Structure 1
Amino acid sequence: MSRKPLPQTPAWWHDGSTPPLHARLLATLYGNLAALRRTAYRRDWLRKHKAGVPVLVVGNIVAGGTGKTPLVIALVARLRAEGWTPGVASRGHGREDEATPRWVGAGSNASQVGDEPLLIARATGVKVRVDRDRVAAAKALAAAGCDIVVCDDGLQHYRLARDIEIEVQDARRRYGNGRLLPAGPLREPVERAADCDFRVLNLGVASEHEVQRDSGLGEWPMRLRVGVAQPLHGGRAQPLSAFAGQRVHAVAGIGDPERFFAMLRDAGIAVVPHAFPDHHAYVAGDFEFGSRLPVLMTVKDAVKCADLADAPAFMVPVDAVLPQAFWVGLLERLPPRVV
């Protein structure tokens, strides 16, 4: 059996203690450099580049996952319904050769394009481009016929001019201890969030009727609606309720594995948790659990594990659900579509 490194939850998410002096000093240096960079783009000392089409950026100001991928998929679906031809630009974190730009299709290999871009491509069917240079990615999408670009995890990529910024925040974690890296989880100061056009608050799994309106604090609630568990090796799809009262191996290599485990427990499932680091490169040995219980995993993990899990394995999809008023406000902010 392989020895898998279990991700440790950084103390900054839950510990109110003061970080070490060296971390605080580095955070101050990091903050000064980040502020200088923001100022340089704001005052046009550094040039912003336009893609030639509207650009909608989804991101966060904290390190780690907050639920951006389900929101990107929902944004693409809504834009298509409104007559747009969207494309998605992403870096493709964790892929083997991040220096090489690539197009992402449903048949792509996650090791070459990244797990999240592959998930987005399979879920939406739109053009997806991975490139460390987000400007180049956006321009490639525009040249390929996309009339709007959704930039995944791009708040800090100031070279790419944007029309709308959406910050995604985890409702449970928020900004942790409120300190900058490496003393805390912040990529940028909390004040940076005020520049975003929308703040989406990921509240986790709940029924659609619970999503009604803005909280009144400028935060739009996003709920995750659980879909039907899809088998990885053939067979029938099953509702999550079919696993209630059973023990299962639960696999999650995402920013917050506990969120996935809690979702399964809330469905009455007895979870044997297997947490892996975000963007983990799975091998067959990772699934040598010692018992052939059903395996449930996130869709982000499933794009890398179809040929690895020996026991009956299922991926559990989730859809982002937001208030109708959010979509109205978002569409009103977009420039007119060129027909």
Structure 2
Amino acid sequence: MILNPQDVEASWYGQKRLGFVQRGLLILLSWLYGGVTRLRRALYDQGLLRRTRLPVPVIVVGNLIVGGAGKTPLTRYLAQALIAAGWRPGIISRGYGRQVPGIRAVGQGDPPRYVGDEPLLYAEDGLPIYVGEQRVAAGQALLAANPLVDILIADDGLQHYALERDIELVVFDNRGFGNGQLLPAGPLREGLERLNDMKMKALVWQGGAPALSNPAIHRYPSFAMRLEPGAVYAVNDRTKEQPLSAFAGQSVIAVAGIGNPERFFQMLRDHGLRVEGKSFPDHHQFTQDDIPVSTCPVLMTEKDAVKCHEFSAGRDRWFVVPVTAHIDPPLPLADWLKHRHRV
């Protein structure tokens, strides 16, 4: 029996029905996975595995479902909001998709295969950013190298229990909880009981909260996040900008190697573009052969563009569509942080 990953993922959201034996196998594996994750968390909760508190406040951005829900734009929004409030944030990340392990600082222009794609975006924003499999060690290294940093954002750190945290921001999109089951029978990294953790501060819904009946989601403040496209620019020349509206009515090829490519494609359609979408796995390491040869403009996300820049010379019709997060109401960061005992 062969399980097609695309069919399995489609079944999480009711888009495909699997056979009885396939569903049974996935549920069995889901029970095993759930047992391991609950045991691991219990070991931390009981103090049998050690949590480490860093000397500055830590805000974790993460999600319960696999795939992109908007963590990267939220992290960038959060960093800028903290700077505007007088903080000096740094960011720690695992650096998914990189091919070189270990802890290292990320600088503008670093090869994405060494540091990952999302960390490069944070570095381009001028933020101190360290990557490492062990977030505690990455945070310690960042603080040692950047003594003025007074708050840390842990990108995709919700399940990294070894790192003590002050605030957790959990991101969802319009997929909600899917079928509500754990991997691999469903899209959940952790069970919904994780929402009962009193460390959690807020839920952020990309696109607005869907109508969900789970009572746990009503225990915490919720915020709607929308992603707005900015000025489109050429992959090989950032100074060549034009509004996305300049492409309205045109046929374009949209390339996306992110957790939820359809969200990117739909955003372009919503702005009047005729889109032929080409999807790749999240954190895909692009080669020039992945990008279709076409007379049509090729549009891609910022996250994908950092991996295509090195072979973009002469590709004047490859464009980047940046997005900016807007949150309503604004996150009350000052109120949250003033109650932390170390601030």
Question: Which TM-score applies when normalising by structure 1?
Answer: 0.88
Q: Work out which of the residue numbers 55, 60, 63 in structure 2 matches 1:57.
A: 60
Residue of structure 1 equivalent to 2:118: 116
CA apart distance, 1:334 = 1.2
Residue of structure 1 equivalent to 2:126: 125
Tell whether 2:226 aligns with 1:223: yes
Kept in 2: contact 1:104–1:118 (CA 8 A): yes
Q: Equivalents in 2 of 1:149, 1:242: separation in Å?
A: 38
Kept in 1: contact 2:257–2:284 (CA 8 A): yes
Residue of structure 2 equivalent to 1:71: 74
Aligned residue type for 1:88: I
Does the C-alpha gap of structure 1 residues 162 and 217 become closer, same or farther in structure 2, counting only changes over 3 Å?
A: closer
**Deviation string, structure 1 residues 192-233 (Cα, Å, up to 9, x no partner):** 1232211000008xxxxxxxxx99973210011110101122
Q: Work out which of the residue numbers 77, 84, 95 in structure 2 matches 1:81.
A: 84
Q: Work out which of the residue numbers 97, 100, 104 in structure 1 matches 2:102.
A: 100
CA apart distance, 1:338 = 7.9
Contiguous gaps of at least 5 residues in structure 2: 209-216
Tell whether 2:161 aligns with 1:161: no
Q: Equivalents in 2 of 1:7, 1:92: separation in Å?
A: 24
Aligned residue type for 2:283: H
CA apart distance, 1:62 = 1.1
Aligned residue type for 2:34: G
Q: Equivalents in 2 of 1:125, 1:337: separation in Å?
A: 29
Secondary structure of the corresponding residue to residue 70 of structure 1: helix
Kept in 2: contact 1:129–1:137 (CA 8 A): yes
Tell whether 2:259 aligns with 1:259: no
Q: Equivalents in 1 of 2:47, 2:342: separation in Å?
A: 28
Residue of structure 2 equivalent to 1:210: none
Aligned residue type for 2:135: R
Q: Equivalents in 2 of 1:272, 1:148: separation in Å?
A: 42
Does the C-alpha gap of structure 1 residues 157 and 215 become closer, same or farther in structure 2, counting only changes over 3 Å?
A: closer
Larger mean Cα displacement after TM superposition, 147-156 or 101-110? 101-110
Number of corresponding residues: 319
Secondary structure of the corresponding residue to residue 168 of structure 2: strand
Residue of structure 1 equivalent to 2:177: 175
Kept in 2: contact 1:7–1:275 (CA 8 A): no
Q: Equivalents in 2 of 1:216, 1:23: separation in Å?
A: 31
Residue of structure 1 equivalent to 2:320: 315
CA apart distance, 1:311 = 4.7
**Deviation string, structure 1 residues 103-122 (Cα, Å, up to 9, x no partner):** 11112111110001111211
Kept in 1: contact 2:112–2:120 (CA 8 A): yes
Secondary structure of the corresponding residue to residue 237 of structure 1: strand
Mapping of residues 241-320 of structure 1, within 5 Å: 241-289=245-293, 291-309=294-312, 310-320=315-325
Secondary structure of the corresponding residue to residue 20 of structure 1: helix
Residue of structure 2 equivalent to 1:209: none
Does the C-alpha gap of structure 1 residues 85 and 44 become closer, same or farther in structure 2, counting only changes over 3 Å?
A: same
Larger mean Cα displacement after TM superposition, 265-274 or 9-18? 9-18
Kept in 1: contact 2:234–2:316 (CA 8 A): no
CA apart distance, 1:331 = 2.2
Q: Equivalents in 1 of 2:302, 2:153: separation in Å?
A: 20
Secondary structure of the corresponding residue to residue 278 of structure 1: coil
Q: Equivalents in 2 of 1:16, 1:217: separation in Å?
A: 33
Kept in 1: contact 2:201–2:221 (CA 8 A): no
Contiguous gaps of at least 5 residues in structure 1: 1-5, 205-213
Residue of structure 2 equivalent to 1:211: none
Question: Which TM-score applies when normalising by structure 2?
Answer: 0.87
Q: Equivalents in 1 of 2:106, 2:328: separation in Å?
A: 30
Does the C-alpha gap of structure 1 residues 218 and 333 become closer, same or farther in structure 2, counting only changes over 3 Å?
A: closer
Larger mean Cα displacement after TM superposition, 280-289 or 229-238? 229-238
Secondary structure of the corresponding residue to residue 331 of structure 2: helix
Residue of structure 1 equivalent to 2:214: none
Kept in 2: contact 1:7–1:277 (CA 8 A): no
The runs of 4+ residues in structure 1 deviating greater than 3 Å are: 6-10, 15-19, 214-218, 335-339
